[in-house]
Amino acid sequence: MHATQPATILSPDSAATLARLAAIVESSDDAIIAKDLNGVILTWNRGACAVYGYSAEEAVGQSINLLVPPDRLDEEQQILSSIRAGRRIQHFDTVRVRKGGARIDVSLTISPVWENGRIVGASHIAREISERKRLEAANARLAAIVESSEDAIISKDLKGCIQSWNSGAEKLYGYSAEEAIGRGIALLLLPADRQHEELEILERIGRGERIQHFETTRLRKNGDLIEVSVTISPIYDTSGRVVGASHVARDITGRRALEEQMRQAQRLESVGVLAGGIAHDFNNLLTGIIGNASLIEEDLPPDAHSRQFLEALMSAAKRAADLTAQLLAYSGRGRFFVGPVNLSEVLFEIRTLVRALVRKNVTLCLDLAPDLPLVEADSSQMHQLLMNLVINGAEAIGEDRPGTVTVRTGVEFLDESYIRAALAGADLQPGEYVSIEVQDDGSGMDEATQARIFDPFFTTKFMGRGMGLAAALGIVRGHRGAIRVSSAPGRGSTFRVFLPVSPAAQDSRPRARRGTVLIADDEETVRQVARAALEAADYSVLLAADGQQAVEMIRTVPAISLVILNLTMPTMGAQEVLCQIRALRPDLPVVLSSGYSEAEVSRRFEGAGPAGFLQKPYGSAAIRKIVESALAVPVRTAPATR
């Protein structure tokens, strides 16, 4: 309530003036009421009839409480007290009751009525504001909806000047509302699009057109490009004239990437079907060519002049048969003789042949994991797969400089999040996989080249046929595996192949008699050394390259009996990993390993209850001793905090 000291109301000096005042009061749409200092209604105009629903006969003589909700009677007493003190109450928004009990919103102005220098009553002017309140509430709800939306919701005038900017726009584009409002919408456009695209949009909006689900590229504050789906609609004033535009944008960068992966997978699948069909029919033709040629060869005398031409024909036909076999491998329809295969042994067997095939300027390094789990595979297909990958890496280095191709084998646990993020489109289940990594320090590839490297007959080499990687992909898919490629111009390329560990081969491996140890360390060398030392002592060993992978393995592999956890881990720190291990397996012993001193580690993990400490660097005897000790001692849990 707002109170002011009023001027004394002057008494009318003529009957004409009184009549005019009475006519003004009676014709007003506002409720104009006079009441005495006890709140008894003395006059009641036509506007009061409209606002409150009572006739003058019903209202005059009644208490003003007739119009006051029961829960606001104290409010009316405060109003009368203010009037008695000579204070005026102006534009006071409150709630009153109409005849029949309906509550309405009103704005009140109540002033003292003076007579002969003393206050004798009050004038009560009420304007119904229910519709205004309803609109204000509706606008507030709309504003809350707009502000809470994850989409960018922006309004702009017909010159492209930004007028409103919600929190979704802040998240999507990176600009705060203070930075964006008042600036042109062109700040979000690529320089090449700023003129023609925005002008075209504003022209269409000015004609009353709506632009729906327009997919384009926009620019964030930090310079990143994002893919967005934009819907732009005209904003009209009360006369129906277009005065601006609403701009609703949704980030579709992730969706675009997934769609592109799916298109790539479908394209490769369709090309594979085509290649398989062609190869199948071509094989039939080659059977006829080679078969008839061999029959002719049998009938020709040894010294026949035409024998040399027949031998050239047979050689060409056999090369065509090899190419057909590669097409069948790409399509996943190659002839497989599946059995248990150790990929480290396959690589060791072909090392001499591979070194003979690569150029002298290329050094081949093999880093092969011992006791690699077996995979169910066709041995000859694995030979071809590994040969193709290594030769591809060697050819990427070129002839003008020395380079290195490194081949590693190992075992990795692939969780659902990694499969979804790094191997999208591959039909893999979380679990243990044999990994083959072929890394070269060659020229690398841009994104456009990477998108086509598995296409049959695509090659960047002058003399290449473009079937090596296509066949490699087909072999991997035929063995229920996946390939991941990482490359950048000038930084070389890395091909990582994942093949599922055979359940039968896994069951047939010598199982640890003394427990399963998880080595969680981001250094490949450390993991392999620890694994070799513990497997030699009859422990089963699992490896995790980061904290998140370690937690996922603990969640899904109940056989783990001890964890050796490196203090410094990517993705998830050792303290968080240890906390999650305690939540999942409170009884699981955890040995911390670090190059820091034991005193420093103990200080940082005070009360966390590690089962031991393994100082880096360590040898096989040290790791075996700490494992034996940790498995023999119950886990100490942290004391309860108060």
pLDDT in tens, 452-507: 787 765 665 544 444 567 778 878 887 888 888 888 888 889 999 999 997 765 55
Query: What are the structural domains of the chain?
Result: 2-128 (3.30.450.20), 149-251 (3.30.450.20), 256-331 (1.10.287.130), 338-504 (3.30.565.10), 510-632 (3.40.50.2300)
Instruction: Determine the pLDDT at residue 66.
Output: 92
| Alpha carbons 55 and 124: distance in angstroms, whole number | 16
Vertex 599: Cα angle to 594 and 605 (nearest 5): 70
Cα separation values, 620 from 29, 59, 387, 538, 610, Å: 97, 101, 35, 13, 21
pLDDT, residue 258, reads: 60
Q: What is the pLDDT of residue 276?
A: 56
Instruction: Please indicate whether residue 552 or residue 18 has the higher confidence score (pLDDT).
Output: 552
Report the relative pairing of strands 560-566 and 516-520 from DSSP bridges: parallel
The tens digit of pLDDT for each residue in 550-586 reads 888 888 777 788 999 888 877 788 888 888 888 888 8
Q: Which DSSP string corresponds to 124-188? A: EEEEE-HHHHHHHHHHHHHHHHHHH-SSEEEEEETT-BEEEE-HHHHHHH---HHHHTTSBGGGG
d(CA 77, CA 89): 13
Computed from CA positions of residues 628, 633, 635, 636, in that sequence, does the dihedral angle turn out positive or negative? negative
pLDDT for residue 497 = 93
pLDDT at position 186: 82
**Distance (Å, whole) CA 452 – CA 469:** 10
pLDDT digits (tens, 9 = 90+) for 65-80: 999 999 988 988 999 9
Please say if the pLDDT value at position 266 is more than 60: no
Does residue 614 register a pLDDT over 60? yes
Average predicted confidence (pLDDT) for the chain:
80
Q: Indicate the pTM of the whole model.
A: 0.40
Q: Is the pLDDT of residue 91 over 50?
A: yes
- Looking at the predicted structure, is the pLDDT value of residue 26 above 50? yes
Check residue 291 and give its pLDDT. Answer: 72
Q: In what order do the strands lie in the sheet with 225-236?
A: 162-165, 152-157, 242-251, 225-236, 211-219
**Beta 516-520 vs 482-487: how paired, if at all?**
unpaired
Spatial distance between the Cα atoms of 128 and 29, rounded to a whole number of angstroms: 10
Q: Which residue carries 């595996």 as its tokens? A: 481
Alpha-carbon dihedral of residues 611, 617, 622, 627, nearest 10 degrees?
A: 30
Structure confidence at residue 312 as a pLDDT band (50, 70, 90): confident
User: What would the mean pLDDT of 24-35 be, rounded to a whole number?
Assistant: 86
For residues 320-344, average pLDDT = 64
What's the rounded mean pLDDT across residues 157-184?
Answer: 90
Strands 225-236 and 211-219 turn out to be: antiparallel
For the segment 254-259, the average pLDDT, to the nearest whole number, is 64
Strand partners, 32: 125
3-state secondary structure of 517: strand
Is the pLDDT reported for residue 425 higher than 50? yes
Bridge partners of residue 340, in order along the sequence: 376
Q: Which band of pLDDT confidence, cut at 50, 70 and 90, is reported for residue 382?
A: confident
Distance CA 601, CA 594 (A): 8
Element of type H or E holding 447: helix 447-450
Strands 431-440 and 403-414: antiparallel
Residues paired with residue 117 on neighbouring β-strands, in sequence order? none
Pairwise pLDDT comparison (165 vs 194), residue with the higher score: 165
pLDDT at 465: 47
269-289: buried (b, 16+ CB within 10 Å) or exposed (e) per residue?
A: eebbeebbeebeebeeebeeb
Q: In 3-state terms, the chain is what percent helix, strand and coil (to 5)?
A: 45, 25, 30
Q: H-helix or E-strand containing 107?
A: strand 103-115
Regarding predicted confidence, which is higher, 449 or 96? 96
At residue 8, the pLDDT reads 40
Give CA separation, 174 vs 143, 168, 228, 360, in Å. Answer: 21, 10, 14, 52
Where residue 13 falls among pLDDT bands split at 50, 70, 90? Answer: low
Q: Give 537-590 as a DSSP string.
A: TT-EEEEESSHHHHHHHHHH-TTEEEEEEESS-SSS-HHHHHHHHHHH-TT--E
Average of pLDDT values for 356-363? 83
Q: Which residues pair with 593 in a beta bridge?
A: 566, 614
Whether residue 7 has pLDDT greater than 50: no
